[in-house]
Amino acid sequence: MASKKARWGLLSTARINERLIPCIRASSRSELVAVASRDGERARRYAADWQIPTSHDSYEALLADPDVDIVYLSLPNSLHAEWNIKCADAGKHVLCEKPLAVTVEEVDRIAAAAQRNAVVLQEACMMRFHRQTDDVRRLVAEGAIGEARIVRSVFTFTLNRDDDIRLDPELGGGVLWDLGSYQVSLAQAALQQNPVEVIGWQVASDRGVDLSFSGQLRYPRGAIAQLFCSFQSAPAWNAEIVGTAGFMQLDEPYQNHPGTDGHIRLLREGSDASGATFSDDTEGMEEEMLTYARANAYQDQVDAMVACVLDAAPPPLALAQSRGNIAAVTALLESARTGKAIALR
């Protein structure tokens, strides 16, 4: 099927589409054929602005379009479950912007719809499709830093638009869903486990949406993940994984800046582990820098989705992994609301 192209349709005119459109067009086996909005005039203007051949004045019309193979679903979070299922029932493959859903029960219904319709359905958590995340997982699994003890991460920026949908509780708003879900997903990728207990604290808006969130997650073998995300802070992003025999630092852990080099700085015990004068410095440790030049994880997720659809390649991000991530996020939110640690089954 090497000569076949996957034909994409955009379900909404959301701003995040601007990250995907160039990647779809850069994919040699992809074609962007349609866009839909509930406002027909908006859809027509958007199609003209982005040189998209077909516009639809309803989401249902896009799903009925026989020329669409893959739907990129970029609706507000609270609508993801409904339209993932509708896309699957229409026989469309789906790349759904993260989060896949906002409850575990919704994920289960989505997975059932994907299975009964034999379609590929993946969450567009772009960093999970990038080689850097694969290398983090591999290095931890190989014991490059010994046994992982803690994953620490920060992801923040200032959100000043009062009408932004990420501040609307009815649309699944909140900083943990927007930024923190990447951090929970990074810990899941690094540790290859889901947490067994979480605790969270939030600074909430007068509408009850979390604006800043701090969380801690405990994993089965004793590792801990700590995260801080915020709509109330200067832009910052980093992550660190510390183990029994070394640590790694990531300056672009979420791969959300296309065209920017990313790095893993890796320090681990060398052949002479006794070389340090004191046990609290890195003297005698070996340092290695892994560089990911001008990385674009959005391109990686488009290419991976096309490979799944056209070549039956296994999905890089399985629905079971998305389910585990969403279970952890919802538990963190429950903890922040109740002031109690929450155990996960």
Query: CA-CA distance, 221 to 84, in Å (whole number)?
Result: 34
Name residues whose C-beta falls within 8 Å of residue 337's C-beta, 6 or more positions apart in sequence. none
Question: Can 98 be counted among the known catalytic residues?
Answer: yes
Rg (CA), the chain: 21
Set 4, 5, 86, 98: catalytic member: 98
Phi, psi of 254 (to 5 degrees): -100, -5
Query: CA-CA distance, 21 to 19, in Å (whole number)?
Result: 6
Contact predicate 176/120, CB 8 Å: no
Name residues whose C-beta falls within 8 Å of residue 280's C-beta, 6 or more positions apart in sequence. none
Q: Please choose, from the candidates 335, 298, 336, 324, the residue with its C-alpha nearest in 3D space to the C-alpha of residue 27.
A: 298
Query: What is residue 55's DSSP assignment?
Result: E
Report the 10 Å Cβ neighbour count for 249. 17
Residue 156 carries which side chain, given as an amino acid letter?
Answer: T
Look-up of token digits 């051949």: 53
Length of the chain: 345
- Which amino acids are annotated catalytic? 98
